[in-house]
């Protein structure tokens, strides 16, 4: 159907935007992950962390784990964005105009579906991204995975299938992150395009950056707990979710700079690429304008 084709295309374009943005800013993601898990690093400055990693492990280590992350993004963004747009279509056909509360609800539902289906992939890619890293924290365990499938196999054999869903609780709460992001993004985009005004690339970049900055700042402690649970380190295995969260809330500034730089710039560039590819493709294909909304 036209709706299915539209949502599939838009999900694919969203993935393309995500891949482009993640690739450009991947070293920032590397720095963020190290700081979240390896708290014994003396410096929280992103440039210094990047320089240390490049010096100790080589320049290419800044992109270690790129393929698993991109693979996870492929599935995660497709599931999230397809679910979000399907709900958007269904709710648009009902009474009432689109409101921020509806956008938030759709984002939450899409996020829950995404978490349940894709958490195992994010557990694996988090471990692969940190494999071979020179940690300051001696309690962090080094892994010896030969790739994505070997990581799945070893985790299931040595730690049990349930380990693949480590960090699910904070992940479920963190559905508020993309939900809040999309709520603010859609609201600001509607306001910027009011009266049929054309939205420029600079405006899309700014809107995407602001939306992600708000969402990231609000949910940052949960994101750190999520990363720790996915790695499943010895020093944190006996800690409860509540204890970890309390610890991170009390240290909320820890590597927030790296997280904001990585997520805000990535999200902003992602939205620009997505909006431009979508507009150009739908224009060339001559699809009805209603399908884009």
Burial 75-102 (b: 16+ CB within 10 A, else e): ebbbbbbbbbbbbbbebeeeeeeeeeeb
User: Along the 293 residues of the chain, how does pLDDT read in single tens digits?
Assistant: 566 666 677 777 777 888 888 899 999 889 888 887 877 777 777 888 899 999 999 999 999 989 988 888 888 878 888 888 888 888 776 665 557 778 778 888 988 999 999 999 999 998 998 888 888 777 777 888 988 999 999 999 999 999 999 888 888 888 888 888 888 898 898 889 888 888 888 899 999 999 988 888 888 778 878 887 888 654 454 456 666 666 655 555 555 677 778 888 888 988 888 888 888 887 777 654 444 44
Its pTM stands at 0.70
What single-letter DSSP state applies at residue 39?
T
Looking at residue 150, what is its pLDDT?
A: 94
Of 133, 122, 147, nearest to 53 (Cα)?
133
Cα–Cα distance for residue pair 267/261, rounded to 1 Å: 10
A 10 A CB-CB count for 135 gives: 16
Question: Does 1.50.40.10 match the CATH number of domain 2-292?
Answer: yes
Cα–Cα distance for residue pair 267/264, rounded to 1 Å: 5
Looking at residue 248, what is its pLDDT?
A: 59
Of 215, 213, 205, 206, nearest to 183 (Cα)?
215
Token couple for 200? 């420029």
Of 93, 105, 37, 26, nearest to 61 (Cα)?
26
Q: How far is residue 3 from each of residues 7, 200, 292, measured CA to CA in Å?
A: 6, 26, 10
Looking at residue 234, what is its pLDDT?
A: 47
Looking at residue 278, what is its pLDDT?
A: 83
Looking at residue 240, what is its pLDDT?
A: 60
């Amino acid at each position: 159907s036209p709706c299915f084709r539209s949502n599939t295309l838009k999900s694919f374009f969203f993935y393309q935007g995500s891949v482009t943005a993640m690739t450009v800013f991947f070293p920032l993601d590397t720095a963020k992950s190290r700081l979240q898990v390896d708290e014994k690093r003396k410096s929280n400055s992103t440039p210094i962390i990047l320089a240390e990693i490049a010096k100790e492990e080589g320049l290419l280590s800044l992109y270690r784990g790129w393929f698993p992350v991109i693979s996870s993004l492929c599935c995660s963004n497709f599931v999230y964005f397809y679910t979000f747009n399907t709900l958007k279509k269904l709710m648009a056909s009902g009474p009432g105009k689109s409101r921020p509360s509806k956008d938030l609800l759709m984002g939450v539902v899409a996020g829950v579906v995404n978490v349940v289906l894709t958490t195992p992939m994010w557990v694996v890619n988090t471990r692969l991204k940190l494999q071979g890293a020179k940690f300051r924290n001696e309690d962090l365990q080094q892994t010896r995975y030969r790739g994505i499938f070997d990581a799945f196999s070893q985790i299931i054999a040595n730690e049990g299938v349930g380990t693949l869903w480590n960090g699910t609780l904070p992940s479920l709460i963190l559905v508020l992150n993309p939900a809040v992001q999309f709520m603010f993004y859609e609201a600001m985009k509607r306001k910027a395009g009011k009266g049929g005004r054309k939205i420029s690339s600079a405006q899309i970049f700014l809107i995407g950056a602001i939306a992600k900055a708000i969402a990231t700042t609000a949910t940052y402690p949960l994101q750190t707990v999520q990363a720790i649970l996915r790695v499943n380190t010895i020093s944190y295995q006996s800690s409860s979710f509540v204890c970890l969260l309390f610890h991170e809330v009390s240290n909320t500034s820890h590597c927030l700079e790296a997280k904001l730089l990585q997520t805000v710039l990535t999200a902003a560039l992602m939205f620009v690429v997505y909006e431009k590819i979508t507009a150009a493709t739908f224009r060339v294909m001559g699809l009805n304008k209603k399908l884009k909304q």
